[in-house]
A and B are shown apart, each in its own frame.
Chain A
Amino acid sequence: EDKVVQSPLSLVVHEGDTVTLNCSYEVTNFRSLLWYKQEKKAPTFLFMLTSSGIEKKSGRLSSILDKKELSSILNITATQTGDSAIYLCAGVTSGTYKYIFGTGTRLKVLA
Chain B
Amino acid sequence: DAGVIQSPRHEVTEMGQEVTLRCKPISGHDYLFWYRQTMMRGLELLIYFNNNVPIDDSGMPEDRFSAKMPNASFSTLKIQPSEPRDSAVYFCASRESDSPLHFGNGTRLTVT
Interface residues of B, dominant DSSP? strand
A110 CB within 8 Å of chain B: no
Select which of B42, B48, B98, B103 is within 8 A of A98 by beta carbon. Answer: B48
Interface size classification for chain A: 20 to 34
Q: Which residues of A contact B98 (CB under 8 A)?
A: 31-32, 97
By the criterion of a CB under 8 Å from any partner CB, how many residues of chain B are at the interface? 22
Q: Is the CB of B106 within 8 A of A45?
A: no
Q: Is the CB of B101 within 8 A of A45?
A: yes
Q: Is the CB of B42 within 8 A of A102?
A: yes
Give the docked Cα–Cα distance between A90 and B95 (Å). 14
Q: Which residues of A contact B33 (CB under 8 A)?
A: 99
Q: Is the CB of A45 within 8 A of B104?
A: no
B21 to chain A, nearest CB (A): 15
A84 CB within 8 Å of chain B: no
A42 CB within 8 Å of chain B: yes
> What residue in chain A is nearest B41 (Cβ atoms)?
A103
Q: Is the CB of A96 within 8 A of B41?
A: no
Q: Is the CB of B48 within 8 A of A41?
A: no
Beyond A42-B105, A104-B42, whether A97 also contacts B95 by CB under 8 A is yes
Q: Which residues of B contact A88 (CB under 8 A)?
A: 42-43
Give the docked Cα–Cα distance between A96 and B48 (Å). 10
B70 CB within 8 Å of chain A: no
Give the docked Cα–Cα distance between A90 and B42 (Å). 12
Residues 27-45 of B, flagged 1 when their CB comes within 8 A of A and 0 if not, give: 0000101010000011101
Given contacts A97-B95, A99-B101, 7 further A-B contacts (CB under 8 A): A42-B104, A42-B105, A88-B42, A99-B33, A101-B43, A102-B42, A104-B42
